[in-house]
Amino acid sequence: MPSRPWSPAPDAVIVGALLFARATDLLLSASEPERNAPARALIAVAFLLYLAYLLLDLAGAHPGRAPLLGWRWARVGDAGKLGVLLGLIGLTVLLPLAVLVARRARDGRHAHAHDGLVQVEEAARLLLRGANPYAASYRDTPMALVAGDTPALEHLAYLPALPLSAVPGIALVEPLLGWYDHRLAYALAFVVSLALLARLAGPGWPRLALLALAGLNPFMAGHLAFGLNDAAVLALVLVAVAALAADRPIIGGVAVGVAGAMKATAWPLAPFYALYLLGRARREAGVEGGRGVLARWARALAPAALTWLAIVLPFALRDPGAFVADVVGYVGGGSDPPVPAGGVGFSAIVLAALGPAANDFPYGVAQLLVLVPVLLYTLRRQGAGNTLRAMLTGYAITFLAVSFFAYWFYENYLGYALVLLALAAFWDPAREPETAPAEPRQPAPEYATATRAF
């Protein structure tokens, strides 16, 4: 095995930078004196683990050298670094989540949780009682203690699959334990996402870098502990991608349908997913052409479309006015009174310039003006090489561009898009199904080349 320069590999630098950001996030979220000391101790242990990561990485720079203290440390290689990286993720992401779950079980459903998590659980409880969560008020639930007197108490912004996902836990786990926290499901989705990312990424340092960008990403993984739900949508999108890569389009379609019925975050995937299936239908149809392509394309789209309709349509038809007011009007500032525009996107710029009048700005028009050229460009680029990698790239760019100009744009949206872009960047071409256009597989770049790329 050839040696590389005795200096850190790209993944070691990425892990260090993300760990620094995650440590800062932990300190800011544990500003109370009684929590500051444990947070600092946790960070100190994390930095010790990172030192071990660095040592394992540097030992691999000269794999042929003589053993140190009777052991060839380079033999540990990427497997050792992977173990340390998973330890860092568990320590800085899953452990804080477990602590907050335990505190909430002790202090009540309103405590130590994001208001969105509380509302999803309360919507699931309404479903178990046969009520319509889109026509109900949340003023008599723990949501009122979390959100205060805001329009959020009269509107459920989430699509039906999200509260439906909490129904099994509340119906089965809560009677046994006396409590249930839907963060347990989000944590499972997070772990599944990491496993799928490891499978889809190229070998060597790109795989480690991708896992770090997903597992230590302070804009996404850092929000998991408080109950933000992006990990659930990401897991479904990755299940879809992995299923398509394994040539199992029905499973992929069902996953896309559930993701789209869970959160609008997944909606920008639809045109790129449809274009990918169209390319697949053309390759499979061969000389049939015309009607043969359209028939195959329709059959390929059916699982996603039927799954989405099966989940969303019953709620939309039950009370169309309430459903549209919640999932469309409320999230666009259409409630009475409206929730102020906010976040870290274009609305923050408008708010700084116009003040309270920012609530009346036509964000939908701005989104449309951005969507049309971005969508045309990204679809055209995907059409030139219709692969899963191109599909992911187009989806991530379109989602990021359009979401930035929405009424709300928060940093967790950026974290979600970053994971998708990182997967596209570190994608393993060998994961493309055999029917996909040929894309040469290249090994992880030599360290000197990789350094120049970064």
| Bridge partners (DSSP) listed for residue 71 | 68
Q: What is the pLDDT of residue 389?
A: 96
Q: What is the pLDDT of residue 339?
A: 81
The series of mean pLDDT values per 10 residues for the chain, 454 residues long, is 71 94 82 72 94 88 50 65 96 95 94 94 97 95 88 93 97 95 97 97 93 93 91 98 96 98 96 96 74 90 98 97 92 78 90 90 94 96 94 97 93 95 95 65 47 34
> Could you read off the pLDDT of 308-341 as tens digits, one per residue?
999 999 999 999 999 999 999 888 887 777 788 8
Please report, for residues 116, 118, 261, 264, the alpha-carbon distance to residue 158 in angstroms, rounded to integers and kept in the order given: 9, 12, 9, 8
Q: What is the pLDDT of residue 27?
A: 81
Q: Both ends of the chain: CA-CA distance in Å? A: 23
Q: What is the pLDDT of residue 37?
A: 82
Question: How far apart, in whole angstroms, are the C-alpha atoms of residue 38 and residue 48?
Answer: 15
Q: What is the pLDDT of residue 69?
A: 46
Q: What is the pLDDT of residue 448?
A: 40
Question: How far apart, in whole angstroms, are the C-alpha atoms of residue 432 and residue 355?
Answer: 49
> Could you read off the pLDDT of 121-161 as tens digits, one per residue?
999 999 999 999 999 999 999 999 988 888 889 999 999 99
Q: Residue 108 — left, alpha, or beta (φ > 0 → left; ψ -120 to 50 → alpha)? A: left
> Is residue 205 within 8 Å of residue 425, measured between CB atoms?
no
